[in-house]
Amino acid sequence: MALREIIFDTETTGLDAREDRIIEIGGIELVDHFPTGRTIHLFINPDGRKVHPDALAVHGITDESLVGKPKFTDLAQEILDFFGEGQWIAHNATFDMGFVNAELARLDLPPIPPDRVTDTLAIARRKHPMGPNSLDALCRRYGIDNSHRLKHGALLDSELLAEVYIELIGGKQAALGFGGMADSRAGGMAVVTQAIEIVARAAPLAPRLTASEAAAHAQMVAKLGDKAIWAKYGLGGVKP
């Protein structure tokens, strides 16, 4: 079964999910760790909540630009349909999911359960404990061009994070030839399982040890005495 993941990001009016609102969401679909080309990118009217100046400095989304945009209640089903049963993957996912679940709660919809969420920041901190592990820092670490990232943007950040995520789970080679067998949720890292059939040889391999080598080994063990570990396990003499 194919592994489906959505790398996503949100921009908000502020930092308090209880009061602030999502004003932009962007997402990139991955199947078996490869982008499919399917994306979601929506600007959302915050329903009367003003953009905090500190948030504006980060993402540059003004109150005026959101006038006339649909509200979250109008877009919730479109968002949920796009994510489907896929894994929700974000950098500092606690922040993004706090806002997503707060928006869903306002509509009396069930929250996204934790087991469907992967935090790339947590993965990065385990893999690079000395940091830094911001999205920009990880782009620099992995040689990903983020020169066009002048401000935060949900779709742009999702595109960059998708590249970072593949590097965090083992690089582009991690996805080759293992369709459907990698699971990024296992401890935040990619785990690959593959059945291996062990077949008995028709005839044993010829020994590589020569008679002179076996004799030299026996002499060496004899010099070590009765307490030698070789003698303990009956390995004093080795057949060529």
Q: Could you read off the pLDDT of 24-70 as tens digits, one per residue?
A: 999 999 999 999 999 999 999 999 999 999 999 999 999 999 999 99
pTM score, two decimals?
0.71
The rounded distance, in Å, linking the Cα atoms of 167 and 118 is 15
Compare 77 and 203 and report the one with higher pLDDT.
77
The pLDDT tens digits of the residues spanning 62-110 come to: 999 999 999 999 999 999 999 999 999 999 999 999 999 999 999 999 9
Tokens of 194: 């593959």
197 falls in which pLDDT band (50, 70, 90)?
low
Compare 226 and 45 and report the one with higher pLDDT.
45
Which residues lie across from 28 on neighbouring strands? 7, 39
User: What is the rounded radius of gyration, in angstroms, for the C-alpha atoms of the chain?
Assistant: 28
What integer is the mean pLDDT of 129-154? 90
Average pLDDT, the chain: 86
Tokens of 90: 């974000």
Q: Return the active site residues.
A: 152
CA 20 to chain centre: 27
Cα–Cα distances (Å) from 106 to 21, 81, 109, in that order, read 11, 18, 8
Q: Tokens 């990065």 belong to which residue?
A: 124
Per-residue model confidence (pLDDT) at position 232: 62
Per-residue model confidence (pLDDT) at position 240: 52
Per-residue model confidence (pLDDT) at position 235: 57
C-beta separation of 43 from 65 below 8 A: yes
Q: Which amino acid is at 128?
A: H
The rounded distance, in Å, linking the Cα atoms of 119 and 185 is 9
> Of the candidates 57, 40, 31, 132, which has an alpha carbon nearest to the alpha carbon of residue 91?
132
Domain positions in the chain are 4-192, 207-240
CA 169 to chain centre: 6
Per-residue model confidence (pLDDT) at position 79: 98
The rounded distance, in Å, linking the Cα atoms of 29 and 5 is 6
> Of the candidates 191, 175, 171, 194, which has an alpha carbon nearest to the alpha carbon of residue 183?
191
CATH T-level assignment (fold) for domain 4-192: Nucleotidyltransferase; domain 5 (3.30.420)
> Of the candidates 224, 153, 9, which has an alpha carbon nearest to the alpha carbon of residue 95?
9
Residue 231, classified by CB atoms within 10 Å of its CB into exposed (0-12), middle (13-18) or buried (19+), is: middle
Q: Which amino acid is at 229?
A: I
